[in-house]
Chains A and B, each alone.
Chain A
Amino acid sequence: GESVGLHLPTLSVQEGDNSIINCAYSNSASDYFIWYKQESGKGPQFIIDIRSNMDKRQGQRVTVLLNKTVKHLSLQIAATQPGDSAVYFCAEKGATTDSWGKLQFGAGTQVVVTP
């Protein structure tokens, strides 16, 4: 069936370095992808999204890359800060009318920023 998964359950990053969080998806018909950040005890918070007609999108200190050939999504965080410590989820939306707004979430990657 369809699935969204993450390659690394935990990512340890030194403060100031760049972080790269990876996500694999299996539904080639998905047309929208989104990254959320979830701090401990809080709800998910939107970071950045990308549509399937794009390969790259940049935000403030974050970049999302989409490789449809290998069905891979990544989130890059520049100059990682202690406040970036959180669980990061990728989610996808299928392109059918049945999946209009339903997001399928991956299990998440824990990012730990070390001094």
Chain B
Amino acid sequence: NAGVTQTPKFRILKIGQSMTLQCTQDMNHNYMYWYRQDPGMGLKLIYYSVGAGITDKGEVPNGYNVSRSTTEDFPLRLELAAPSQTSVYFCASSYAGGAYEQYFGPGTRLTVT
């Protein structure tokens, strides 16, 4: 099992550009999540999904969009990138909600200049 994979590993965007961060899991998990981690800080939930076709906002959704057309994939879209979106982005998945461990991908380091 590869677990949770993310691409790209690094990306530099100019202000106003758009991009999609890819996330794939091969554990057949229903639940998937996107977090951002700013330097020296904990993880903030951006969006989550409880299954294919179902997504909902987390704590910091502004400036982002997601879709979940398959169980395996959960891409995160940044429209009109802003310097405030400079961060490390982590995708995670879990078997179910509640008291279940979330498995994290290696992260994407994004810089917006």
Contact = CB atoms under 8 A, between A and B. Distances in A.
Interface of A: 4, 31-32, 34, 36, 41-46, 49, 51, 89, 91, 93, 100-103, 105-108
Interface stretch (B12-20, B65-73, B101-109): B101-109
Interface residues of B, number: 27
A93 B42 contact: no
Contacts, number: 60
Specify which of A36, A49, A101 lies most central, judged by the most chain B CB atoms within 10 Å of its CB: A101
Specify which of A31, A32, A105 lies most central, judged by the most chain B CB atoms within 10 Å of its CB: A105
Interface of B: 4, 31, 33, 40-45, 48, 50, 58, 90, 92, 94, 96-107
B94 A42 contact: no
Chain A contact residues: over half helix, strand or loop, or mixed? strand
Contacts of B106: 42-43
A105 B97 contact: no
Contacts of B103: 46
Contacts of B90: 43-44
Nearest to B100: A101
Contacts of A108: 40-42
Contact of A101 (B4, B43, B98): B98
Contacts of A45: 104
B42 A101 contact: no
A67 B30 CA distance: 32
A34 to B, nearest CB: 7
B7 to A, nearest CB: 14
Complex A-B, nearest 10 residue pairs according to Cβ-Cβ distance, in ascending order = A101-B97, A43-B104, A105-B42, A100-B97, A32-B99, A105-B43, A46-B101, A44-B104, A107-B42, A43-B106
Contact of B99 (A4, A31, A102): A31
